[in-house]
Amino acid sequence: MGIELFYRVLIIIGGYLFGAIPTAYILYKIKRGDDIRKYGSGNVGGTNVARTLGAGYGAVTIILDMLKGFIPILVLYFVYPFIYPDDSNFILLSILSIAVILGHDFPVYLKFKGGKGIATTYGVVAGVSLLPFEGIAESIVWIKVLPLIVILGIWVIIFLAFRISSLASLCGALAAPISFFLTGYKLPICIASVCWCILVFITHRANIKRLIRKEEKKLSKKT
């Protein structure tokens, strides 16, 4: 029991440290030899990379950040294959998912000042929705994948309509707990999805204030 608890804690810490890898910071450092936090919005994320280095680099950053969310869930799937699912395994999956996002949002490598966690959160959502964890939700595949489709669909629709990344992200975050609950996911996963949503709102505090004042900048189509 003791050694199993040790491994579970190790997985959670490893997930945090992996999620904390500052992708945008590293890419900007390689490309420009400088700190991305000095430019654009000052955020360590894909949107700011797109603004400062161009859409191509922004897309690469977003993909890598999504992988930061997906890979720890994938590793957990192989470590705990969930052949005989129980609540403790679902709780581990839920805590790991939160730890990975916390790593991106508050990375130890950058004095706990990171990005806003959207791409990494979507990577986590993809891992939970796409990987065949036995007993995690309904056995019907399309129902299990539905939260990912709904969340990404809402993000795309809102972004195309308003060209405001933060607004699209907030709307997608609100859809997460609702979609996971309505598609029959286990309670620990539903609780985790609420935490993902809360983290998005925490990291977007300044954006929410600008949205209320109608001062939030739109992402240029030329970016």
List, for residues 107-121, the tens digit of each pLDDT value.
999 999 999 999 999
Q: In the prediction, which pLDDT does 142 show?
A: 79
Distances (CA, A) of 198 to 5, 40, 103, 128, 169: 27, 25, 15, 18, 12
Whether residue 86 has pLDDT greater than 90? no
DSSP symbol at 216: P
Q: pLDDT value at position 95?
A: 96
Of residues 195 and 134, more confidence is placed in 195
The angle subtended at Cα 187 by Cα 191 and Cα 85, nearest 5°, is 125
Instruction: Confirm if 57 and 39 have CB atoms less than 8 A apart.
Output: no
Model confidence at 92: pLDDT above 60: yes
Tokens standing for 51? 């603004």
pLDDT band at 132 (very low <50, low <70, confident <90, very high): confident
Residues 6+ apart with CB under 8 A from 219: 47, 50, 51, 159, 163, 164, 165
Residue 163 C-alpha from the chain's centroid: 20
Q: Which two tokens stand for residue 31?
A: 């490309």
pLDDT confidence of residue 80:
74
Q: Kindly report, residue by residue over 158-186, the tens digit of the pLDDT.
A: 999 999 989 999 999 999 999 999 999 99
Which residue has better confidence, 4 or 185? 185
pLDDT over 50 (residue 223) = no
Tell me the pLDDT tens digit for each residue of 62-80.
999 999 999 999 999 988 7
pTM: 0.92
What pLDDT score was predicted for residue 81?
64
Percent of the chain, pLDDT > 70?
93
For range 5-10, the mean pLDDT: 90
The per-residue pLDDT for 85 is 59
CA distance 59 to 26: 14
